[in-house]
Amino acid sequence: MRYAETGFNLEIDLTRGSIERVESDPRLTELHLGGLGTNAKILWDRVPADVEPFSPDNLLIFATGLLCGTPAPGANRTIISTYSPQTLFMGYSMMGGFLAPELKYAGYDKVIFRGKSPNLVYLWINNDKVEIRDASHLRGKGAVETAELIRQELKEPKAQVAAIGLAGENRVYMASIEQGRSSASRLGLGAVMGDKGLKAIAVRGTKDVNVAKPAEFMQLCNEVLQYIKVRAPNLIPEVMPILAGLGSPQEMAHVDEKWHTENFMWGNARTRRKEFWTKEIEEKWKDALETVRTRLISCYNCPMKCGAIISAPGVSTYMMKCFTKLTYTMAAFVDDLDFGFKIAQRATEYGVDGFSMPQAMAFGFELKEAGILTEADFAGCPSDNEGKFYWLLDRIVRREGIGDVLANGTYWAAKQIGKGAEAYAHNVIKKHEQLPLKLGMLNPIYFLMYSTGEKMNITQIEGNFPQAPFSTMELREAFVKDWVQAPNDKFKKYVLDWEFRGERSMPFYPPVEACCEIVDWQEKMHHIDDALGLCAGLSSFPLKPPYHIHNLPTLISAATGIDMDEDGLTQIFNRNRTLVRAINVRRGLRRADEKPPEDHWKKRFPELEAQLLDGYYKFKGWNHEGIPTKESLHELGLDYVAEDFLQRGILTDNEGTPSKETSAETKKK
Ligand code: SF4
């Protein structure tokens, strides 16, 4: 019997219209767990290294995490993986909500799509009955609207539906996949779904998921719930409100937006409004939030209530997703939060990433102000800040006029526009828009996370280590006193010694080796979550979460029956993380790509930054170019990767790298 997982994947060939139920190899679960880990293995094995994201040979994988569908609190993530049209590297994005547990209850761990359907279709999974159904009547429908129409059509109000909107259908690089109160937004996965002619997946499952040691497993789950109960209301002093408790950023519960509105840039990562958060604005925004927020809600099997149902006047009800509450308002320089709530509803129906889309729009208007784009490009555009944002959003998702260019995101749009536009597309890493945050002093931990993270998305890499030193020794001592999540006492010392000023302050403290250990730990927690399907909000993202490296091995053992300890789990993390890196290395990722946005910090330290990269690569067992070495691949059981690298000349027998590599971008040209 298979425990925690079902042991079956669905293989859907959209070109041929075929559906197969295929048993998976249990050995792969031992090597990679599930979710992201096994997705990476499938992409490595089955997709040609030089595949175009919009090729029928590209796969689109909807995966449950290994613990999804078990009673583990917060085990509800769907991990979607493919090759991103924006970065051209592996793209993976997670969504919470309800889809993954439902898929497990229907009897499947993954749904793997290949090919392209000639007509728009959706997949209906109803336990053992699986059908590809016509979706031509859903063309152009909103993502939320589509979910509702499909439930009505199937007469199955309990079906969980993940759908794309118009942006995905039109292969907008910022297109998301929307579901429940969540979405897989980053890296254009919705565009790949649209390219495959797949409008939605609807799932209803009523089967059981088995766990290996039920009594022990339930005991561990109860301990997690107990811990949440105590920890969640006990906020950590001196930490900004949305990070002081548990859960994904609790922005829908909090009114205080001083930190975001005054530290994040407005427009396209350009202007800080340092005195923005006045008493008057606070009252106005509180009122706006509390008027439209009808209810706080959770994902499947979680007590945290990170999301909210929004009913803004004049638009249909929707659910607010991570941080979108502020992004449109700030990009458009609108002082009225109502605007943000209204445009976010339209954007959610269109199915777009709430981080990248507002930046792409603001970027377009900045180019117009700079004379790089012309009046003709914006013919018919209203002049007021709100009106012009609605106008451009509509054009981008329809790929009309200048909207067609901006639909590829700021990096590719700047390249196409030329005439100096590149200087305005300055907030990207590996061609992907980042948080519009501009700071003073280089933070060496964040430098490494930004530069080397394979997720291309800082908010999903940062985590359990404090973002800044605590101001007093009392606070530091109080923090480390019950810090059971720290991997070992060295990490406590880093917190105790970390100062705002002087020798033990940023950028030279924590020292290079400590930064590597901290980043490695944070990555480890994220990779484990993404393999298990655990929400980062209860594990890798907040300070002092209920899940950590010391209790997860026991939980995995009780769920799966696999013998697991911390070393074993660390080995799996290293294998999964290295495999994702290898996939990207095979597509041209090199050291030159590993840099944060140029103006993210005012004070930069090139020599230290080089040392940080050198130190991190060495720590990981990679060579000077960031390529895993033969030895390190061998230690992780990835000899097949080493052989591939040798054959392609990416590694040579003496492990040097050839001087010239063809990058994915070069191939695209
Ligand atoms: S912590 Fe928040 S985002 Fe995570 S599963 Fe719970 S409700 Fe969802």
- Report the CATH number that the domain containing residue 277 is assigned in CATH: 1.10.569.10
Calpha distance 84→59 (Å, rounded): 11
Q: Pick the residue whose CA is nearest to atom 5 on ligand 1.
A: 74
Same domain, 427 and 445: no
Q: How far is the CA of 537 from the centre of ligand 1 (A)?
A: 6
**In terms of domains, do 489 and 635 share one?**
yes
Q: Which residues line ligand 1 (CB under 6 A)?
A: 74, 76, 96, 247-248, 298-299, 302, 304-306, 535, 537-538
**321 & 389 share domain:** yes
pLDDT higher than 50, residue 385: yes
Give 356-377 pLDDT, tens digit per residue.
999 999 999 999 999 999 999 9
Cα(429) to centroid of ligand 1, in Å? 27
Residue 658 lies in a domain: no
Give the pLDDT of residue 313.
87
pLDDT given at position 532: 98
Name which residue sits closest to atom 7 of ligand 1, judged by CA: 298
- 285 CA distance to ligand 1 middle (Å): 24
Spatial contact of 587 and 31, defined as CB atoms under 8 Å apart: no
| Res. 669: pLDDT tops 50 | no
| Residue 434 or residue 44, greater confidence | 44
**b (16+ CB within 10 A) / e for 58-86:** bbbbbbbbbbbbbbbbbbbbbbbbbbbbb
In a shared domain, residues 421 and 448: no
Residue with the smallest CA separation from ligand 1 atom 3 is 248
In a shared domain, residues 298 and 192: no
Residue 350 near residue 397 (C-beta atoms within 8 A): yes
Residue after which a domain boundary falls, among 380, 404, 431:
431
**Atom number of ligand 1 nearest to Cα 305:** 7
Question: Of 186 and 322, which is predicted with more confidence?
Answer: 186
Q: Which atom of ligand 1 is nearest to the CA of 298?
A: 7
Do 492 and 540 lie in a common domain? Answer: yes
Atom of ligand 1 nearest to the CA of 247: 1
Q: Which of 188, 204, 220 is at the close of a domain?
A: 204
Counted domains in the chain: 3
Shortest-distance Cα residue to atom 8 of ligand 1: 299
Least confident of 202-211, 286-295, 494-503, 523-532: 286-295
| Per-residue pLDDT tens digits for 603-614 | 999 999 999 999
**What is the rounded radius of gyration, in angstroms, for the C-alpha atoms of the chain?**
24
Q: Which of 76, 296, 306, 309 to mutate to test the pocket of ligand 1 (most atoms within 8 A of CB)?
A: 306
- Domain boundaries, position 245: 232-431
Per-residue pLDDT, 663: 46
Question: What's the average model confidence in pLDDT over 183-190?
Answer: 94
- Per-residue model confidence (pLDDT) at position 497: 97
Does residue 197 sit in helix, strand or coil? coil
Q: Which long-range contacts (CB under 8 A, 24 or more apart) does 139-142 make?
A: 139/169, 139/199, 140/166, 140/169, 141/165, 142/166, 142/348, 142/349, 142/350, 142/351
Q: What is the DSSP letter of 236?
A: P
- What is the position in ligand 1's atom list of the atom closest to the CA of 246? 1
Q: Is residue 275 part of a domain?
A: yes
User: Residue 212: which of 617, 609, 563, 600 has the closest Cα?
Assistant: 563
* Cross-strand partners of 165: none
* Residues 181 and 281 grouped into a single domain: no
CB-CB contact of 82 with 50 (8 Å): no
Among 242, 321, 538, which residue has the most ligand 1 atoms within 8 Å of its CB, making it the best to mutate? 538
User: For residue 535, which atom of ligand 1 is closest to its CA?
Assistant: 4
Three-state DSSP state, 131: strand
**Is 182 in the same domain as 236?**
no
The pTM of this model reads 0.96
Average pLDDT of the residues in 634-662: 82
Q: How many angstroms does the Cα of residue 295 sit away from the middle of ligand 1? A: 15
Convert the pLDDT of each residue in 413-466 to its tens digit. 999 999 999 999 988 999 999 888 888 999 999 999 999 998 877 665 788 999
User: Is the domain of 74 the same as that of 191?
Assistant: yes
Residues 328 and 462 in one domain: no
